[in-house]
Structure 1
Amino acid sequence: MSQCCGYFPCPSCEKIYRSDGSRRRHLKYQCGKQKPPLTGFNVTEDKVYECDECKKSYKHFSSMRRHKLYECGKVPNIQCPILNCVYKAKINDRMIQHVRMVHKMDI
């Protein structure tokens, strides 16, 4: 680990990193040593996380992970609590959003 002026240069190429962890990840995966681990998503050129199954894209990894766990390929099973409303959601946050926006009520 050779640090230069608060930066961490790659010994194999001319790239410079602000943290040693980023430099180590670069050495492990980008300097031709290993393929990155399979995670169930792709990072597109625009640095957007894309679901492998349905191709929906998300700006943040946590949003894509939530999608994979609770939404992708799942059937909506949370029924709207308002009488005679047929809306169903896959996650509780979407149901709360629906009730607030459509029915103009707070839950």
Structure 2
Amino acid sequence: MIMGVSTQLLKEDITFFQVSQQWPQGTKGSNFSCTRCHNTYTHRNTLLRHMRFECGVEPQFECPICYKRARHKFHLISHMRRHTRL
């Protein structure tokens, strides 16, 4: 582990970066497919977000009140609004 980051995660991040560099930037109507789970997306940025935060990654954002975890910060923010309504 290097400064709290496992070498496996570093290897996956390098592989992710190398694969993402091979995709064309401005292709409309193309399907971009995840190399890990084979989900397809119509936009390159959506696939990159999926690979970075969702596919094979534990949810990293945690509610400080009930400790529920979310994969995206905007999901956590909407969840935390429910606590304030109570």
- Tell me the TM-score normalized by structure 2: 0.49
Structure showing greater Rg: 1
